[in-house]
Structure 1
Amino acid sequence: MIEVKEALEIVAANSSSLSTQKIAVKKALGYILAETIYSPISMPPFRQSAMDGYAFIHSERHQFDIVGISQAGDHSNIKIKENETIRIFTGAYVPDNADTVVMQEHVMANEKSILIATKPEPFANIRNKGEQINIEDVVFDANTVITPAAIGFLACLGITEITVYKKPKVAILVTGNELVKPGKKLSKGKIYESNSVMLAAALQTIGIKKIKIHTVKDNLKATQKALKSILKKNDIVLISGGISVGDYDFVKEALIKNGVEELFYKINQRPGKPMFFGSKKETLVFALPGNPASSLTNFYIYVYPAIRNRMGFSNTHLPKIVRKLNSSFENTTGKTLFLKALYDETSVTILEGQSSAMLNSFAIANGLIIIPQDAQNIKKGQLVTILPID
């Protein structure tokens, strides 16, 4: 059995980024850039009007003759005189010798001329060439997360394809003779299987949407056979249940028989002590406890950073924040504790129902308090570290 700190270090050391691929920008949401991107153009590529209004040469004059029009998409480089203006629309090309645009709301106009009621400052309401970015400037550094706004910005620069880190192929294997699929009749001795849908939902929060879910009975031969196929086809395998020391816990043995190298087994923590972490070639295996709260806790602590590492994220772990504890707490276990909690701007409350089997308290928690193994007596008002999970 190892300590939490060592377990985290082992997971990090074995969770390198996957290979890269070129992908269409419109399909790149949630991916991580594997290269620095430079702008192929300036944006805007020409001087644009920021308003619907009239372009003119700034002077003391207030009255101007209308001599043309510039719509978005046109290239009407009309030469205007000091007493002339053109009707112009948002995003349209500003003539080279015009230096100011007045908003249409600030003029009185007829078909032939305008009278400016409120004079703008010189150079107002014009977006200069390269105002957002100049040609060959850095658009995004490597390891940037592609967001909807990033996709929009890349598209407006004419970029259609980028190089990103591949997202890992993830499979979930659920073991247990007692498990019944939700929606089916629940007979005596059976419980509904919830871990697979819970873990799949947690995976989706970090951008993993294509997830294969497999089930197997508590049988060594069946577990070994299922794992043989799953290990070949996936980058990360999550196993729910069958990893403790009961007579029908066959997962660890089945993994070893399939050539999975054990990197650690059991962590000095609560909940989530009986967890196996191993690898076979480039495939990582997390055999998580069957108890739902333990399984989800270990997902946040170990699986979450491993997957983000594989995806190319630079910040892989959940962030840490500190708050004042609303009540005293005594840790007599000698273990690191992860306690379901509710925090606000100043303080945090430990929730009732800390059992490893209880999801009801997890469902309303927005954080996990970390109680170090050597912290025995924590006083009310003392600062504690929290992992936000909201």
Structure 2
Amino acid sequence: MISIEKAIELVKLKSEPLLKETIKPVEKAGGYLLYRDIVSPVNMPPFRQSAMDGYALNMHDSLSYKLIGEIKAGDSQHPNLKPGEAVRIFTGAAVPDSANAVMMQEKVEGNDDEIKIAHQIPLECNIRPMAEQVKKGNIALKKGTALTPAAIGYLSSLGTTRVPVYQKPSIALITTGNELIEPGKDLKYGQIYESNSKMLLSALYSLKFYDVAIEKVEDDYNKTISALSAAISQNDLVIITGGISVGNYDFVGKALSELQVEEVFYKVKQKPGKPLFYGKKGNTNIFALPGNPAAALSCFYLYVYIALQNMMARKKNELPRVRAKSLTAFEKKGDRPQFLKAIYENGKVEILEGQSSAMQQTFALSNALVYAPETLTSINVNDTVETILLPV
């Protein structure tokens, strides 16, 4: 059994970036990282652009100007203004080369033939220069940039339709247990509804990992070997829930050994989630999580999350941790470090009741985990505690 710190260190060390390239339509590339630099195919903006609604001027000494036309956004006309002439112009429209400033409409009076501006303005005032954002042939976004909605919008504004990104891992999600049945079916005595696959699939989807295959395996040694062998050979990441303890019908550990999976670690000194396995076979990362739902989800956020971020070559690979004042008291039993389900808001955190590893209801209300280290025996009201913020 190893410490939490050592387990995290080993996951960071062993879960290497996939470094595989795939091409995605720009509108479906959100959440990916750029595999290569993107070079701009155009100047942005591609012409001198009005920053507001107003009047484009060829400036002279007088405050009065002859109005000779109008330019809307998208118009291709390119009038030649003489000194003392102006055109009505709108935000985003192309400013004629002969214009050297735009006066906002609120400071202009006049009619269809002549206008008067309130005061003189500097040259190039309210004009966005051509290529102000990026020049044609220059790097628009660098390799490794996270494609946020803003980045997608920016690339689209450059005319980009497809982008090279780091391929996301293919994931197999395997649940074990004869007592588990699908929601929607009638429960028989001794059965429970299977929830881990739905829970972990939702967690993966929320992190924008969509290439996920789900399989349920009976508590049978040969069937477990067959399912794990296929999953490991076909995926970059395999997540198993249940069957990793030492009971008579816990076959996952034995199957992984039979398949010659390298054991990086097995069992972590923590609560919940002590019977956690992490291993590798070739380039495939394998996590066997406890079957209890709260323990499985805690281990996912603490360890599997790190592996996923590393596989995507992301620099920030752990969930954020903050210091928060506790609104509640808590007595810790035993000598294992503990992760406590909690609600965090505005620098304060409430540790919830019902901390059992099987308590899904408490986790359903949580948005954070409070870390109670080995040396801590109790938490008092207003104590400052380390708090892990969970993805929403």
TM-score tier by shorter-chain length is over 0.9
Distance in structure 2 (CA, Å) of the matches to 1:352 and 1:361: 7
Q: Does 1:156 align with 2:169?
A: no
Q: Which residue of 1 aligns with 2:262?
A: 261
Residue 109 of structure 1: how far off its partner (Å): 4.6
Aligned to 2:187: 186
Residues 124-145 of structure 1, C-alpha deviation per residue, up to 9 Å, x if partnerless?
3211223223445543333221
1:11 paired residue number: 11
Q: Distance in 2 between matches of 1:235 and 1:133?
A: 37
User: What are the equivalent positions in structure 2 for 1:24-39 lying under 5 Å apart?
Assistant: 24-39=25-40
Distance 1:181 1:85 in 2: 72
Deviations 1:281-331 (A, max 9, x none): 111111111100000000000001101111121101101101122344443
Matched residue, 1:129: 130
Which of 50-59 and 341-350 deviates more?
A: 50-59
Structure 1 Cα separation of the partners of residues 213 and 243 of structure 2? 19
C-alpha distance after superposition, 1:84-140 (max 9, x if no partner): 112223222212231222334543454433344x44733332112232234455433
Cα distance in 1 between the residues matched to 2:309 and 2:382: 34
Deviations 1:328-376 (A, max 9, x none): 4443422111000112223222100000000111111110011111223
Contact conserved, 1:262 with 1:279, CA < 8 A, in 2?
yes
Q: List per-residue Cα deviations over 1:218-267 (Å, max 9, x = no partner).
A: 11111111112111111111111111111111111112222211111111
Q: Which moved more, 1:313-322 or 1:56-65?
A: 56-65
1:20 is aligned with what amino acid?
Answer: K
User: Partner of 2:388 in structure 1?
Assistant: 387
Change (3 A) 1:120 1:231: farther
Letter in 2 for 1:47: R
Equivalent residue number for residue 86 of structure 2: 85
| SS in structure 2 at match of 1:43 | coil
For 1:97 and 1:127, the matched residues in 2 are separated by 15
Write the distance in 2 (CA, Å) between the matches of 1:181 and 1:344: 35
Instruction: Give the Cα–Cα distance (whole angstroms) in 2 for the partners of residues 364 and 124 of structure 1.
Output: 53
- Structure 2 contact 60–84 (Cα < 8 Å) conserved: no
Aligned equivalents of 1:239, 1:305: Cα separation in 2 = 16
Q: Residue 346 of structure 2 aligns to a residue in which SS?
A: coil
Q: Quick one: distance in 2 between partners of 1:120 and 1:4?
A: 67
Task: With the length of structure 2 as denominator, give the TM-score of the two structures.
Answer: 0.93
1:1-390 equivalence runs, <5 A: 1-23=1-23, 24-116=25-117, 118-119=118-119, 121-122=121-122, 123-389=124-390, 390=392
Distance 2:168 2:335 in 1: 38
The amino acid across from 1:372 in the alignment is: P
**Could you say what the CA RMSD is over the residues aligned between the two structures, in angstroms?**
2.0
Structure 2: any 5+ residue segments left out of the alignment?
none
Q: State the 1:385 CA deviation.
A: 0.8
Is this contact kept in 2: 1:102–1:119, CA < 8 A? no
User: Within 2, Cα distance between the matches of 1:284 and 1:360?
Assistant: 30
Distance 1:136 1:375, change over 3 A: farther
Tell me, in whole angstroms, the C-alpha distance in 2 between the residues paired with 1:120 and 1:219.
85
CA offset at residue 76 of structure 1? 3.5
CA distance in 2, matches of 1:223, 1:333: 34
**Stretch of structure 1 that moved more, 42-51 or 172-181:** 42-51
| Identity, % of aligned positions | 46
> Residues of 2 paired with 1:387 and 1:150: CA distance?
28
Conservation of the 8 A alpha-carbon contact between 1:206 and 1:308:
no
- Whether the aligned pair in 2 keeps the contact of 1:79 and 1:97 (CA below 8 Å) is yes
Q: Secondary structure at the match of 1:269?
A: coil
CA distance in structure 2 between the aligned counterparts of 1:119 and 1:150, rounded to whole angstroms: 39
CA distance in 1, matches of 2:371, 2:78: 65
138-147 or 307-316: bigger deviation: 138-147
Q: Is the contact between residue 264 and residue 279 of structure 2 (CA under 8 Å) also seen in structure 1? A: yes
The whole-number CA distance in structure 2 between the counterparts of 1:90 and 1:379 is 58
Distance 1:337 1:100, change over 3 A: same
Amino acid at match of 1:184: K
Moved more, 45-54 or 283-292: 45-54
